[in-house]
Amino acid sequence: MERVDVELIKCFEQLIKNSSRSIVLVPHMNPDGDAMGSVLGLWRVLKNAGYLVKIVSPTKYPEFYHWMDGHDEVIIHSHHPKQSAKALDESDLLICMDFNQLSRLGDMKSLVEGYKGKKILIDHHPYPGSFTDLVISEISYSSTAELIFSVLQSTDFVRYIDQNAATSFFTGIMTDTGSFDFNISNPNTFEVAAQLTRMGIDQLDIHSKVYDNYSVDRMRLMGFCLSNRMTVYPEYHTASIYITLEDQKAFNFKTGDNEGFVNMPLSIKGIVFCALFTEKEKYIKASFRSKGQFAVNEVSEKYFSGGGHRNAAGGELYASLTETLAQFEKILPEFEDRIKQSIK
């Protein structure tokens, strides 16, 4: 079952043990359930082991994760830049989780770039950058949460994984796999889920807290988008959804309110590729999902300055929404053959 190099795990353990016991954990900007589950789970384990651990997130994260153990101690860099810089200054080990490039830190990039202590990267995205002293990057793991749990199991820290940490790790795996629906390429995901369940987590409660915790506004926005903002391209087995700034205003949009929208068209018979374009003040945030072999990270890398995994990727385009939608339609013929190979 061991899929991470033993030497890397030893090095990971040693870097933590060699630290002055002050450690900072950093997820990517606009952190999702996996990024938060990974940092909060590791935070709990290292805290249980007697370390002084802080989490600094580049930006805030959706309210439906605000129940998680330790969430109220997370320092948000975009709101508290001085406190964030102080936390980094006072530590000598920084662990980056669930991202592969410094650009995923947004405005916090320079702070991490100029960090004086040792740095570790724990991630499951392809093409990890070399901005840390140690890189543990394994794309065969469903989530960073599954990866860090597996790594911890081979260290002395295993005894500090309690029910709270297990709950955070399970949240990460559950959200990155869409409740065990995608991103699973190895039975280890289910083995880890079973182990976490044996540690006493309440998986129904976790699911309910994340997925049955939406606002009325979000629910209505979802219905509105499906009715008025979705385009289906049957010849390309593709569908796209967009959300304008005006739509966001009309439905009192809050961070995370569009989470999961991108997956919805994949439930349409014959659709294997879909996109969500969310208008922001200065750019368009793009999200892509696919079924099967069609690699959406290639679409995102080539046309949307982004990246991600084969079946889930994202990026940004500094253009208008109209231009973005036109660009998307224009590139579909280029990917037609590869999209069709995904149809079973």
- Interface ranges with Mn ion (CB under 5 A): 34, 98, 143-144, 176
Residue span binding ligand 5GP (CB under 6 A) among the ranges 114-122, 143-151, 222-230, 309-317: 309-317
In the set 313, 317, 332, 339, which binds ligand 5GP (CB under 6 A)? 313
**How far apart are the C-alpha atoms of 286 and 39, rounded to whole Å?**
25
Angle of helix 163-176 versus helix 203-211 axis, rounded to 10? 50
37 touches ligand 5GP by CB under 6 A: no
Strand 118-123 vs strand 93-97: parallel, antiparallel, or unpaired? parallel
b/e burial code for range 168-192 (CB count within 10 A of at least 16 → b): bbbbbbbbbbbeeebbbeeebbeeb
Choose the stretch contacting ligand 5GP; rule: CB under 6 A; options: 56-64, 113-121, 187-195, 307-315. 307-315
Spatial distance between the Cα atoms of 151 and 93, rounded to a whole number of angstroms: 17
37 interacts with, out of Mn ion, ligand 5GP, none, CB within 5 to 8 A per kind: none
Q: What whole-number distance in Å separates Cα of residue 250 and Cα of residue 246?
A: 6
Candidates 150, 315, 317, 324: give the one binding ligand 5GP (CB under 6 A): 315
Q: What is the 3-state secondary structure (H, E, C) of 18-55?
A: HCCCEEEEECCCCCCHHHHHHHHHHHHHHHHCCCEEEE
CB of 124 to Mn ion, least distance (A): 6
Distance CA 39, CA 98 (A): 9
Read off φ and ψ for residue 267, nearest 5 degrees. -80, -10
Residue 68 three-state SS: coil
172 binds ligand 5GP (CB under 6 A): no
Q: Structure tokens of 328?
A: 């998307």
Site string for ligand 5GP, 242-281 (x = CB under 6 A): --------------------x-------------------
| Residue number with CB closer to ligand 5GP (26 or 53) | 26
Nearest to 41 by CA among 179, 182, 199, 190: 199
Of the residues 242, 307, 311, 339, which one makes contact with ligand 5GP according to CB under 6 A: 307
Of 238, 239, 308, 328, the one binding ligand 5GP (CB under 6 A) is 308
The only residue of 306, 324, 332, 335 in contact with ligand 5GP, by rule CB under 6 A: 306
Nearest to 286 by CA among 272, 271, 297: 297
Q: Containing H/E element for 242?
A: strand 238-243
Tokens representing 252 are: 């009192």
Residue 27 binding partner per list Mn ion, ligand 5GP, none, with a CB distance cut-off of 5 to 8 Å that depends on partner kind: none
Under the binding rule (CB under 6 A), the answer on residue 316 touching ligand 5GP is: yes
- Residue number with CB closer to Mn ion (61 or 335): 61
Strand pairing class (312-317; 284-290): antiparallel
Give the number of other CB atoms < 10 A from CB of residue 7.
Answer: 8
* Six-digit token string for 274: 């879909």
Q: Which is nearer to Mn ion, 145 or 276 (CB)?
A: 145
The residue (of 62 and 307) whose beta carbon lies closer to ligand 5GP is: 307
Residue 293's closest CA among 274, 308, 272?
272
Q: Write down the least CB distance from residue 206 to Mn ion, Å.
A: 17
Which is closer to Mn ion, CB of 136 or CB of 221? Answer: 136
Residue 283 Cβ vs ligand 5GP, minimum distance, rounded to whole Å: 10
| Count of residues of this chain found to bind ligand 5GP when the rule CB under 6 A is applied | 15
Q: Which of residues 78-107 bind ligand 5GP (CB under 6 A)?
A: 101, 104
Cβ-closest residue to ligand 5GP?
314
- Rounded Cα distance between 19 and 36, Å, is 23
Residue from 287, 290, 311, 324 touching ligand 5GP (CB under 6 A): that is 287
Q: Rule CB under 6 A: which residues touch ligand 5GP? A: 32, 101, 104, 125, 262, 287, 306-309, 312-316
